Each structure stands twice: as C-alpha cells, then as structure tokens.
Amino acid sequence: MEFREVRVTGRDPAKATGLAEQLSTELSIGARGVESYREALDGADVVCATTHALDPVVRRQWVGPGTHVNSVGLNPRGREVDAETVRDALVVVESRASALAPAPAGANELTWAIRDGVIDERHVHAEIGEILSGTRPGRTSPQQITLYKSVGVAAQDAAAAALVLAEAERRDIGRRVEL
C-alpha cells in the first residue's frame, strides 16, 4: 500500500503539527496536523492509535468501510477504540490469553466489550501468528473493517527488535549504543 497522506492529531495541536512536519521531511510524504480525532479518521484507510485515552478516540461513526485500525494504546482506566468499532471489525491480537486477560492486563477495548455484552471471546478472530502462518484467514472483503489490538507480548517485541536490528546492520544504518 502506498500512502499519499498522513494526518496527526493529539491532545496538543502544536505537538501534532510538529510531528507532522517532521514526518513530512523524514518520509517525503504529505503529513499534516489536524484539530480532532474525527478529522484524522475521516476517509482514512489505516488508523494508528497510540494513546493513553480515557475515552475512545476511534469511534465507529468515524471509521469507514475497509479501514484497518492498529490500536496499541493503554490506559488501565480507559480505552482508545469504542465497542461498536470492535463489534464491527475482524479482530486480530498478538495473543488471546494476553489480550483477554483480566485487569490490569488485557485490552479494555475487548474485555469491556465482552463485559457489556457487545461481543464474546469468540469475536477475537485470530492471533497475528495465525494470520501470518496462513492457518486463519485475514480480511475476506475490501469493505471489511479490521482491528489489530496490541497489548505487547515481550517475546514478539524481542523478535521484532531483532529483525529491525538485523536489517539496520545489513544496510549499515543507525548507531550502536553500548548500555
């Protein structure tokens, strides 16, 4: 997928605009700061939520057909994706056990939707490894909304870091820092 535009928003509009300017320079892509989450999501193909929100910043009425949502934010007292988006999406997680664990672990987006009777545990379609290995299908239509809810699984984080490090070394980019 080729991205034509990146929209950035957050609690501090000046910081969002600053990040958008930095992304425009570093990625050579049109990035701009916007005033609201609604404006950021309007017509978006991909949404990346990385907040500490108490109230959802991704709301179903703002998510169009075919949108993919990545949600990695965490607030033990809140959620960044509303239950209606979860209900209408094909949901993928790193680990069912981690994502559905009781507080303070787990993903409130999922556990609260279960608590409120919006979905049940079977609504979690797959773990990311099942999609990558081909044992579970991913999106089944271009109009399907997909949600990847990440809660952070240390073994997967370490594996991803090793891949990034190997690629950086292969390309001879970056800087080695001794700790």
Q: Compute CA distances 16 → 128, 129, 130, whole Å.
A: 30, 33, 35
CA gap 146, 85 in Å, rounded: 9
CA gap 164, 24 in Å, rounded: 22
What is the Cα gyration radius of the chain?
Answer: 17
Peptide bond into 104 cis (omega under 30): yes
CA gap 173, 41 in Å, rounded: 33
Q: Where are the beta strands (DSSP E) in 41-151?
A: 46-49, 68-71, 89-93, 124-127, 145-149
| Residue environment code for 43-72, b if the CB has 16+ CB neighbours within 10 A, otherwise e | ebeebbbebebeebbbebebbeeebbbbbe
Q: What pLDDT was estimated at residue 28? A: 81
pLDDT averaged per 10 residues in sequence order, the chain, 179 residues: 89 94 88 95 96 96 98 95 98 96 92 97 96 96 97 82 91 87
Q: What pLDDT was estimated at residue 27? A: 82
Q: Could you state, in order of their start, the residue ranges of all structural domains in the chain?
A: 1-35, 45-171
Q: Please tell me the pTM assigned to this model.
A: 0.87
Q: Report the first-to-last Cα separation within the chain, whole angstroms.
A: 37
CATH of region 45-171, choose from 3.40.50.300, 3.90.950.20, 3.30.1600.10, 3.40.50.720: 3.40.50.720
Q: What pLDDT was estimated at residue 19? A: 95
Going across the sheet that includes 89-93, the strands are 46-49, 68-71, 145-149, 89-93, 124-127
